[in-house]
């Protein structure tokens, strides 16, 4: 089960109490205060783990508590510090304060760590309060409580390319052909109920990651169909492949479908609507009205977007599309490197 949003409660350990104690040793009269300090409470850390790709493990384990510090003891013995609690999350997880909705941390790499809640300090024992005029203090400090809060975790898949389009536009078929991903494929709408990731291998250790997002329909930004809840997973992508079914089997107009999806993207996030986009006409093996393909091609050209026509079933045009995507990603990487070099050299 793919879970991309979950709330958890975390509680750092309380600090241990200090202690009031006095030395009671033979041949040491009036030994003085010897109460040790309490141990520090354990912290709660969040850590990204590349072996995870969903928040499912936190759905059924929503409460996480670090160990409290042990109390101090006599003979100036310090209490043991509490053990930390480490909560593993997948790469791409964003951490929000559930009460204020403030973004606290964004995990974008493996093995990143975020201190989510600090453990309480241990209390002082009475040894700290001895002075020349107060040689036998009979009090100590209690430990401080550890931090406690509720977190909202949201997962945004990290991929190079995002596939968007109407249900049954051919997204799942395409990702199954160009990668090792095996999503559910059927001839009815909404066969994809959760995002899928596929790694495209170009050879010579060159790869890129594609995210297949469940289909959108008109009104998705207002909750129609599956809504727009999965669109967060293409917010990190470098560009989009907008798949449009040009066969007459869909019973819809290809240009209108193209415009509807772009409107839904804009309604969800204006920046996402401006993301570089490649228009991909699909199912050309079932094309019986060539004018449907031509009208979409003219619209893409008018909007200044690259255009490809493919059939994932017969592999027609898929290799050219994949090569174009790989080259575009190389150009983007080179452009970013150049910008960094210019910045560093002043």
Please give the full DSSP string across 250-297, using - where no structure is assigned.
G-S-HHHHHHHHHHHHHHH-HHHHTS-EEEEEE-GGG---HHHHHHHH
pTM for the model stands at 0.69
Ranges of residues in the chain with a pLDDT under 70 are 1-3, 28-29, 181-195, 205, 215-230, 336-346
Q: Are 171 and 233 in contact (CB under 8 A)?
A: no
Give, in order, the Cα–Cα distances in Å from 196 to each of 178, 192, 217: 13, 8, 19
Q: Which of 155, 174, 198 is the last residue of a domain?
A: 155
Which residue has 């479908």 as its token pair? 257
Q: Which of 134, 155, 176 is the last residue of a domain?
A: 155
Give φ, ψ of 70 to 5 degrees.
Answer: -80, 155
What totals of helices (H) and strands (E) does the chain contain, helices first?
6, 14
Are 149 and 210 within one domain? no
Structural domains of the chain, count = 2
Q: Are 38 and 18 in contact (CB under 8 A)?
A: yes
CA 235 – CA 298 distance, rounded (Å): 27
Q: Give the model confidence (pLDDT) of 3-60 as tens digits.
A: 678 999 999 999 999 999 998 877 766 778 999 999 999 999 999 998 887 888 898 8
Edge-first strand listing for the sheet containing 307-309: 196-203, 206-212, 161-165, 239-245, 277-282, 307-309
**pLDDT for position 225:** 43
* Residue-range definition of the domain harbouring residue 2: 1-155
CA 15 – CA 141 distance, rounded (Å): 10
Q: Which of 155, 181, 202 is the last residue of a domain?
A: 155
């Amino acid at each position: 089960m793919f879970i991309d949003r979950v709330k958890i409660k975390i509680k750092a350990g309380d600090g241990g109490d200090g202690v009031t104690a006095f030395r009671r040793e033979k041949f040491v009269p009036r030994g003085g205060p010897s109460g040790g300090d309490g141990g520090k409470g354990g912290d709660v850390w969040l850590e990204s783990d590349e072996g995870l790709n969903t928040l499912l493990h936190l759905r059924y384990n929503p409460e996480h508590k670090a160990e409290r510090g042990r109390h101090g003891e006599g003979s100036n013995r310090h209490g043991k510090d509490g053990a930390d609690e480490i909560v593993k999350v997948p790469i791409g997880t964003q951490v929000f304060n559930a009460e204020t909705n403030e973004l606290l941390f964004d995990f974008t790499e493996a093995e990143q760590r975020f201190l989510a809640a600090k453990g309480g300090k241990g209390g002082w024992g009475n040894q700290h309060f001895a002075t020349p005029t107060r040689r036998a203090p009979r009090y100590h400090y209690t430990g401080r409580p550890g931090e406690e809060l509720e977190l909202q975790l949201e997962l945004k898949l990290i991929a190079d390319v995002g596939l968007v389009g109407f249900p049954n536009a051919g997204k799942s078929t395409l990702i199954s052909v160009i990668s090792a991903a095996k999503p559910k494929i059927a001839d009815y709408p909404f066969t994809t109920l959760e995002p899928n990731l596929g790694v495209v291998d170009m050879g010579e250790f060159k790869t890129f990651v594609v995210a297949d997002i469940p289909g959108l329909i008109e009104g998705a930004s207002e909750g129609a169909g599956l809504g727009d809840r999965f669109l967060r997973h293409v917010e990190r992508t470098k560009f989009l492949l907008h798949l449009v079914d040009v066969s007459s089997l869909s019973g819809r107009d290809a240009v209108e479908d193209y415009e509807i999806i772009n409107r839904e993207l804009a309604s969800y996030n204006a920046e996402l609507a401006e993301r570089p986009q490649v228009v991909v006409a699909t199912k050309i093996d079932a094309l019986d009205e060539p004018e449907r393909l031509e009208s979409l091609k003219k619209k893409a050209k008018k909007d200044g977007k690259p255009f490809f026509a493919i059939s994932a079933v017969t592999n027609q045009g898929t290799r050219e599309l994949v090569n174009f995507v790989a080259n575009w990603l190389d150009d983007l990487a080179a452009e970013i490197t150049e910008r960094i070099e210019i910045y560093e050299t002043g």
